[in-house]
Each structure stands twice: as C-alpha cells, then as structure tokens.
Structure 1
Amino acid sequence: MITIENDYLSIAIKEKGAELAKVYNKVDTFNYLWTGDSQYWGRHAPVLFPIIGKLNQDTYTIGQKEYTMSQHGFARDFDFELISKSDDHALFCLSDNEQTQKMYPFKFKLEINYVLEGKKLSVQYTVENLSETNKLPFALGAHPGFNVPLNDEGGFSDYNLSFEPDLKNPVQVLEIDDGPFPFITGNNKNLTLVKDNVLNLEYTTFDNGLLIIDEAIKTVTLSSKLSKSSITLEVSDFPYLTLWTLENKQAPFLCIEPFYGLPDKVGKMGNLYDKKGNCILAPLDTKEMQFSMIFE
C-alpha cells in the first residue's frame, strides 16, 4: 500500500490496479472512501480500462479476430509500477505485456498520478499509444465508492447530489436494458427525480441498477443538512457521469463515476473502433484527462 498525506488527509493507494483504497480525514478521524466490505461490494475505487462495463458475450472483434475481456477491463487486476512518489503525489504506470496482448492486442502505456493539495485529491490519467502504425481504441472510467452516510451522520436518504452547471429539464440518462447485465439500449430516457439540479438520494432510485447521466457536468457534490462533511467531484473532462449503489441491498455507499466510454449496446458484439463513447488515439499520440475530489 502506498500512502501520501498532509495535515488534513491521508490517502492510501494499492499497487494492484493503482486503486484508491482510503481517504482518511485526520482531523475528524473518519474515512470518506467505501471500506470494500465484501458482503456488499469488495472494491473501493477501481480503474476501468480499456473497456467500461460488460461486453456482449465478453467478446469483441478487431479485424476478423475475436478477443475476450471481462467486465470493466483488466487494469484493475494488474499490478502497476510505482514510478515516483513524494509526500503529496504517487505516480503509477501499466504498460502492455504478454498477458494484456492476449485480451487487447495494442501497445499502450497508462499512467495514473494521484496529487494531493490541501483538501483536494486529483487523479490524472495519461494514455499513450505506443504503436507507430495502429490507432488505439479505449474507454477509461473511475469507479470511486463513498461511504453514505459520511462520518455516520444521518442515513442514505438524508443525502443529496447537487450538480453544476444547470442540467436539462428533465435530465437525460441512458436507458439500460432490463436483462441481467447493464447494457445500454441506444436510447435515452428522462430522470424526473432531479429537481433544481439536486437529486435526493433514495435506494429505490437504484432498484434497476446504475444511472448514466448524458449531460455535460462540471461538478457534483455529495452532502447532507445533517453533516458538516461533503465531497465535491470535478469531472468536466468526462462526457458521462454514472451513479450506482448495490441494487436492493440498502448498502451504505454510493459510487460517483466519471466515464469516458460506455457499456456495450445490448445484443451487439462490436468493434472497439466503432463503439460509442470510446476514445481513438492516433499512432504515438497521447490523451490526458483528470478528475478531482474535494473533501470537506
């Protein structure tokens, strides 16, 4: 486990998956990040790369060849190399190898830099296409889970999410297929529960699974009138924002997930180059994006 900290926050990051594992408030002595309790969901904040969600039949094609990859891709299950570290940053790297090539026949480098400044933790991603000839198709998502309630103050339904800038009325979310896996249908639907850019949290909102908001969101804040604590995410580099908690379990956490990419469309086994939401990098090109979390 790699730790960075300052007077206010202590941050722990696993080398496996370069996964954020703890965001601890040293002043008020509590953890903002979901504990990873396996009776609900045994992860904290996995990195989703090079796909988001599940593939139809766990399979996709490149040219005439089929490849198999599990849900959310492989990055979360590989050990990253720690490139550099100081009191306020930790830089991790994963490059293609013999194992990744069997699932994803591309030359790439993924760097993730955690930077702590006061009450803000920034997560900076750099994806590099190492091929001189082939384009690199990929999706990249963050999947942080947060304890709700924060610091045991109130309950889940005492919290809300507030969004900036103003959202459409009604808010547009991607329609999710009602099968066993959260594939998209290709249609949008209205989320009428958002009033004046605020979504009050209720477990029933997630009875049918995740919500993928199809809006240009700059910030989203998790807060409650019953708590002095809050979390604000700055997500403008990501075109989609996903919300999820475990269905029908009343689990004490909420995932707030910036997505650059989408799950598969139901029933359509596809080509990563043509998949909606994917980023396509030219040979030897680089893509940078980041999101930040402000912990009050």
Structure 2
Amino acid sequence: MKQDGSVFTLENEELLVTIDRRGAELTGIYDKKAGREILWKADPSVWGRHAPILFPFVGKSFEGKYLCDGTEYEIMPHGFARDMEFEPVLCDMDECWYRLKDTPKTYAVYPFHFELEVGHRLTGRVIEVIWRVVNPDSGELLFMIGGHPAFQTPQGKTIYDYTLSFNKEGSGAEESAQQLHYLAPNENGYQEERRSGTLQLKDGQVPITKGFFDAALTYMFDDGQVSSVGLLVDGKPYVTVSCGGFPYLGVWTMEATHPFVCLEPWYGICAPDGYAGELKDRPGIQKLNAWGTWEKSYSIRIE
C-alpha cells in the first residue's frame, strides 16, 4: 500500500489500484500485464467520475424530494456519499477500508444516523468492493447503495467493439435464460413502466450496436436476474463484474461520446415517475434494524 495525499494504492504483480478518500471511490485499475488503464479517466468535460458509490440513494427521487415519516426532504441524485471525505480505517498492501458517519449536514437531508464502511481488496486480478452499513441508532435505518464503475474502451476501440455477456441467477428453461427483463428511466430519470422491455440474448450475449441505448437510456435489470456481467472486446473477455444476489444491475453509457460503459450493481433503484409515497415503501429500499449491520460485496475481474 502506498499513500499519496488522499489517494491510496494497492498493488501486486498483476494490477495497480488506486482509491480516493473523497467518496471512497475507486479511481484507477491499471493492468500491468497489458499496459493499460481499465477505468474511465473521469474527464470532467464528459463525465467527471470513475466509480462513485451511490449512497444513501440510487438514482433520482421524484422531483428531487422524498417523504419520510410525513416530512418532506430534498436530496440530490445518488445521495451525498460520493462527494464526501471518508476516514481511513485500515490500509495495507492488498486491502483498504474507509468510514463515513452522519453529520448535522447529512442529517438535515437524510434523517438517519449511520456508519458506512467501504473496503477494497486486491487478490490477483480481482478487486473486491465491500460495503458495510451500520445502524448505530434505536430506529430502523432506510437506505440504498450502489456501485457505478465505468470501464473505458481500449485504445483504438469504441463501445461498438464491446459485447455484453450475462450469467443469470437461478434455474429455468433455456429459452428464458436467453432474455432479460429490464426497467428503464424516462428522460427525467424516473422509472416509467411503458419503457420496460426484454433484452434478447444469444448464448448469453448481446453486442452493443449503434442505437443499443435508444431502447433504454439505462438498462436496469431487476429481480436479481444477473449474477455477473462482462464486457468482451472483439469477442475476447475484457472485464467481468460479479454481483450474485444483487437485486438490480444497471448498464449505462454516454453514447454521444461513448468513451466507456458502466456496469452497476445496485441495492436500490430510481423512483417511479410521480412517486410521492413514504420512503419505506419506495421500490428498492433496504431496511436495517436497530443496532444492526448490513454487508454486501461485488467484484471486478480484469480478464
């Protein structure tokens, strides 16, 4: 482990990984064998992030507002954790942990006490991302959390050289395994039932072609259908995100410039269009009992 200001580095013979205290964000995955960076470079003129952590919300609340115990609050899309300074807890050669606690400022927009610990563990060519949410209070904690890693296209390639490769959870007919149901946001960023659909696969794969994201600005696969999703480049494995047990997975890009594709494991989802109900009843909300601890992880494998 190396420390350079607010950035920590994990390194082995295969990979060099950097994590920033701001947002506990994974900011680099350099493949030493192939001599190339895998994560998007966060060009602010395009999209100025690498792999932000979405907490305590995933996506937008309707009109930027939500209701909790009868009181209305305003919250930015994806919550506030991605823009806050985390406290280093443990960092060594192949693992580091950060912690974020509530503050008066967070409590004003999100009326819960919480502790969020984020870990990154490097093993060979795999980075495991671990989330641990602690409820330090006597009441129930309501939250969402999600990953948002962006994988840039290799030099000389575009997103149209990518193929998505899916492994589905559960068992069922072979025919059903060749399609995935998805939800999709409207132009305002809210779920809209008429935009949902089915993505057809062949041998578990679908190429990204021009217009692929016209059907869904973001593909939001629900019901825990996806246990892993990979990007193939010219038919060869490039990167794989494993997220078994996650209820949602998002796939997104900025197709106008198409420099990257995001593979996003979520415990939560954007609000339905027009949703004005209580936060506890919103689709995708996670509930943590008093004094409880919630822990989940996903992994990124560089192929």
- TM-score, normalising length: structure 2: 0.90
CA positional deviation for 1:288: 0.7
Which residue does the alignment assign to 2:111? 105
CA separation of 1:271/1:155 partners in 2, compared to 1, >3 Å: closer, same or farther?
A: same
1:1-296 map, 5 Å:
1-132=7-138, 134-148=139-153, 150=154, 152=155, 154-165=157-168, 168-177=177-186, 180-186=187-193, 189-207=196-214, 208-214=216-222, 215-225=224-234, 230-247=238-255, 249-296=256-303
CA contact (8 A) 1:21 1:45 kept: yes
The unaligned stretches of length 5 or more in structure 2 are 1-6, 169-173
CA contact (8 A) 1:120 1:293 kept: yes
Q: CA deviation at 1:169?
A: 4.4
Question: For each residue in 1:115-147, what CA deviation from the matched residue of structure 2 results, as whole angstroms up to 9, or x when unmatched?
Answer: 000000000110111112x11111110000001
SS of corresponding position for 1:48? coil
Residue deviations 1:240-271, cap 9 Å, x none?
A: 11000014x13210000001111011011332
Cα offset, 1:11, TM superposition: 0.6
Distance 1:203 1:83 in 2: 44
- 1:126–1:289: 8 Å Cα contact kept in structure 2? yes
Q: Which amino acid aligns with 1:104?
A: Y
Q: In structure 2, what is the Cα distance between the partners aligned to 1:116 and 1:170? A: 33
Question: Equivalent residue of 2:211, what SS?
Answer: helix
Does the 8 A contact of 1:237 with 1:290 survive in 2? no
Which SS does the other structure have where 1:122 is aligned? strand
Give the SS at the match of 2:226: coil
- Native 8 Å contact 1:146 1:255 kept in 2: yes
With 30-39 and 192-201 compared, the bigger mean Cα shift is at: 192-201
Amino acid of the structure 2 residue aligned with 1:287: W
Q: CA deviation at 1:170?
A: 3.4
Kept after mapping to 2: 8 A contact 1:47/1:141: yes
Compute the TM-score of the two structures, normalised by the length of structure 1: 0.92
Give, in whole Å, the separation in 2 of the partners of 1:105 and 1:176. Answer: 27
Letter in 1 for 2:285: N
Gaps of 5+ in 1: none
Does structure 1 conserve the Cα–Cα contact (< 8 Å) formed by 2:163 and 2:235? no
Whether the 8 Å CA contact 1:174–1:187 is kept in 2: the answer is no
Q: Helix, strand or coil for the counterpart of 1:273?
A: helix
Cα offset, 1:284, TM superposition: 0.8
Distance between the aligned counterparts of 2:250 and 2:241, measured in 1?
A: 12
Whether the 8 Å CA contact 1:153–1:226 is kept in 2: the answer is no
Task: Output the amino acid matched with 1:219.
Answer: S
RMSD: 1.7
Q: How many residues are aligned here?
A: 289
CA distance in 2, matches of 1:49, 1:83: 19
Please tell me whether the aligned partners of residues 14 and 124 of structure 2 are also in contact (alpha carbons under 8 angstroms): yes
Work out the CA distance in 2 between the residues paired with 1:226 and 1:274: 42
Between the aligned partners of 1:175 and 1:13, the Cα distance in structure 2 is 30
Amino acid of the structure 2 residue aligned with 1:37: D
